[in-house]
Homo-oligomer: A and B are copies of this chain.
């Protein structure tokens, strides 16, 4: 019997999933929630909308490549885009610790606005709470977004099909490695930064190219590519095979991961997507992604198979195969 909430329950890995399934899904019982997607797809009168929420508690709040403000915009914009929706509106809820620097708040607000402008969404409503010193850590930001869906699109975590090619839109683990290096006070040699970025324009481009050939889109944030692929294998009841040699990781990020003793497969990305697409459309969609901002390093990392449903298998560089599990064990708190 579980008695206490632990950091692992917020890691995005196995413990998070158990909490969500056993408590939230079991209690709330909503069909949209049960689907375990990045955002809920809902009927609002005659329109189909996507709806997604995320709270950001990243530590540190300023980091190379962004801050908690830009991250909060990108995170929710991307969750909406991963259902094929066009993000329209954001609500921003802030919980601020008494004594927080007004200048820092201004910087974060500017960053929220710049992020929203870049993504083409409007911040339309908000809320601010202040708690006493020591009752929160500087600032937490919730963003919740609404997107509009075109009829006919069906992009969902349950749609992986054997044969699908898996495109990754760029290098892996940049955000997670950046945050952890900052936190540990490690000097980053290669100068890599968080990949935090809005992916909605990239998604629009591939939908225009061949929307019906796209089965699944997912941004591998908390828990990383390894956990995300496991979620998809379970939800779609298929096997997934990826090749180590094709996984895109920057050399300096890999070096940092080795130093930290962490596998880049489990580190968060905040500006990358995984696209599961019909094999015949894979090359043309890859070419489209490579031409978009944030997509130049995109590549095909594997495919969906009918064997061993629910599992992810990695073909290693030396030719052996190993199962890739969901993130468990050591939690990496407050990555986003």
Give A contacts to B, CB under 8 Å.
2-11, 16, 19-20, 23-24, 27-30, 32-33, 39-40, 42, 44-47, 49, 51-57, 88-89, 91-103, 105-106, 109-110, 112-113, 116, 122-132, 134-137, 140, 142, 144, 146, 148, 333-334
Chain B residue contacts of A148, Cβ below 8 A:
44-45
| A77, chain B: closest CB distance, angstroms | 15
- When chains A and B are docked, how far (Å) is the Cα of A137 from the Cα of B32? 30
Selected from B8, B93, B102, the residue in CB contact (under 8 A) with A54 is B93
Inter-chain contact A101/B3, CB cutoff 8 Å: yes
Chain B residue contacts of A49, Cβ below 8 A:
44, 146
Inter-chain contact B125/A33, CB cutoff 8 Å: yes
> Can you name 17 extra interface pairs (CB under 8 A) apart from A5-B98, A9-B96, A55-B94?
A6-B98, A7-B130, A10-B129, A23-B106, A24-B109, A28-B109, A28-B113, A28-B116, A42-B124, A44-B44, A46-B46, A51-B91, A52-B125, A54-B127, A93-B144, A95-B95, A136-B136
Inter-chain contact B55/A142, CB cutoff 8 Å: yes
- Of the listed residues A33, A39, A55, the one surrounded by the most CB atoms of chain B closer than 10 A to its CB is A55
Inter-chain contact B102/A51, CB cutoff 8 Å: no
- Of the listed residues A9, A19, A129, A135, the one surrounded by the most CB atoms of chain B closer than 10 A to its CB is A129
Chain B residue contacts of A91, Cβ below 8 A:
40, 51-53, 144
Selected from B56, B110, B135, the residue in CB contact (under 8 A) with A137 is B135
Q: How many copies of this kind of chain does the complex include?
A: 2
Inter-chain contact A105/B23, CB cutoff 8 Å: yes
Inter-chain contact B44/A130, CB cutoff 8 Å: no
Closest to A57 in B: B129
| A35, chain B: closest CB distance, angstroms | 9
- When chains A and B are docked, how far (Å) is the Cα of A9 from the Cα of B97? 11
- When chains A and B are docked, how far (Å) is the Cα of A123 from the Cα of B42? 11
Inter-chain contact A32/B124, CB cutoff 8 Å: yes
Selected from B7, B40, B44, B144, the residue in CB contact (under 8 A) with A47 is B44
Chain B residue contacts of A94, Cβ below 8 A:
55
4 interchain residue pairs of minimum CB distance: A10-B130, A53-B91, A144-B144, A32-B124
- When chains A and B are docked, how far (Å) is the Cα of A103 from the Cα of B4? 8
Inter-chain contact B6/A122, CB cutoff 8 Å: no
- When chains A and B are docked, how far (Å) is the Cα of A144 from the Cα of B76? 13
Closest to A116 in B: B28
With contact pairs A23-B109, A28-B112, A105-B5 given, residues A55 and B127 touching in the complex (Cβ less than 8 Å): yes
With contact pairs A39-B125, A122-B30, A146-B146 given, residues A4 and B100 touching in the complex (Cβ less than 8 Å): yes
- When chains A and B are docked, how far (Å) is the Cα of A131 from the Cα of B8? 10
